[in-house]
Structures are given as C-alpha cells and as structure tokens.
A and B are shown apart, each in its own frame.
Chain A
Amino acid sequence: DAGVIQSPRHEVTEMGQEVTLRCKPISGHNSLFWYRQTMMRGLELLIYFNNNVPIDDSGMPEDRFSAKMPNASFSTLKIQPSEPRDSAVYFCASSFKQGAIYEQYFGPGTRLTVT
C-alpha cells in the first residue's frame, strides 16, 4: 500500500501565480480531506469529499481557493491568485467511511512558499 500520495512535496511561487496541489488517496477509500497547517493556526480542515462529492467546504479561506475531485483516485487544491499568507503545509488525508466510524490517513504534505 503506497499510502496517500501528494505532489509536489515543495512548491515555491511568486505572489499572484496559480498553484495546484495534487493528491492521490489510498485505493478503496471513499473520503478525502484537505488540511492546512501553520504555526499560527495549527491544523485546519479546508474541505472534504465523500464519494467524490464536496460535503463541507466551510474551511476554505476565500474564493481564491478551490478543490476538485474528478474521480475516486485524484483530487486537486488550487489557489489562484496565491498570496504570501497562503504559505503553509497542505495535507491531504483519506479514509474509508462506514457510518460515523473512520480513521484518516495522511499524506506527507506539500510545503508551499509564496514570495
């Protein structure tokens, strides 16, 4: 089992550029989560999908952020335009949700630096 795969692992970009983060969940999992981790705010849930459908995007900071899950094996988180305050580590996690009981498996994260 390869675990959750995220790419790129590191991204440095200039303010105003578009950034796309990618995630491949564990095969067979039906839920996918995007988190952001910063020193100031800790771990924040941005959005999560169940069966490829966005269920809760209340954590998405603003319209500059968007997320898609076109199929069960791939998701993207896009920031357009990026700003320095978006600098953070972005984690993707997946789980197999049966009822209300599940556990999330995290990817290694993408460290984003916006200059």
Chain B
Amino acid sequence: AQSVTQPDIHITVSEGASLELRCNYSYGATPYLFWYVQSPGQGLQLLLKYFSGDTLVQGIKGFEAEFKRSQSSFNLRKPSVHWSDAAEYFCAVVGTGTASKLTFGTGTRLQVTL
C-alpha cells in the first residue's frame, strides 16, 4: 500500500528565509506526487505536481519540489518565504495501480515570523 510521511509537524521560519518541507513516500512503482496548501478555514489548493520527466517541478507562488527516486522523497522548497505563506502543507501520492486514490501525509504547519 502507498503511504506518505511528513516528518515535520510544525516549522517556523523568518520572513525572507528559505524553506524546505520534507516528504517521503512509499510505493513500489512510479508514483504521482502532489503538494497542496491549506490556509486556515480554506480548502486545499494544488501547489504543484510530478508525473514524469524533469524531476524538478515548478509550482505556483514561487514553490518548487524535487523528486528523488533514490531517497523516495519529494521535498518542497521556496527560496524566500513571505508572511502569506503561513499555512498547512500536505504532500500526497497516488499510485498508478491504485485506482485514483490520493493518500495524504499528516501535514506540516508553517509559521512565518516577521
């Protein structure tokens, strides 16, 4: 069965600092990977996705993520965080043979200090 681990429950960074949120997945074949962001009281918004090809993918709001098969990771990065990036971030995976079922990690809550 597929699974996703987000080891950091809560991260605090200063505005303008760089950010990296960790995501590790478990799936036997090639996964499809996603990062979503959830602001307080809101639904989930898709930041970026990886299906195939270039392992460094660009998303909205200046985010990027790198797929590393050897490490089973799909870490999310941003060079300079803005206060408006404070939110909860979810990594998700769908396996090619799992009939479309997205499996989410437990989320990482990002706090941005001014």
Contacts and interface: CB of A to CB of B under 8 A. Distances in A.
A, B assembled together: yes
Interface residues of A, number: 24
Contact of B100 (A43, A97, A107, A108): A97
Contacts of A4: 43
Contacts of A95: 100
Given A42-B106, A45-B102, A101 B51 contact: yes
B90 interface: yes
A31 B100 contact: yes
A12 interface: no
User: Looking at chain B, what size class is its interface with the partner chain?
Assistant: 20 to 34
Contact of A56 (B45, B49, B94, B101): B101
Interface of B: 32, 34, 36, 42-46, 49, 51, 90, 94, 96, 99-102, 104-107
24 contacts: A33-B102, A42-B105, A43-B107, A45-B101, A48-B100, A48-B101, A56-B99, A56-B101, A91-B43, A100-B32, A100-B96, A100-B100, A101-B32, A101-B51, A102-B100, A103-B34, A103-B49, A104-B102, A106-B36, A106-B44, A106-B45, A108-B42, A109-B42, A109-B43
Interface of A: 4, 31, 33, 42-43, 45, 48, 50, 55-56, 91, 93, 95, 97, 100-109
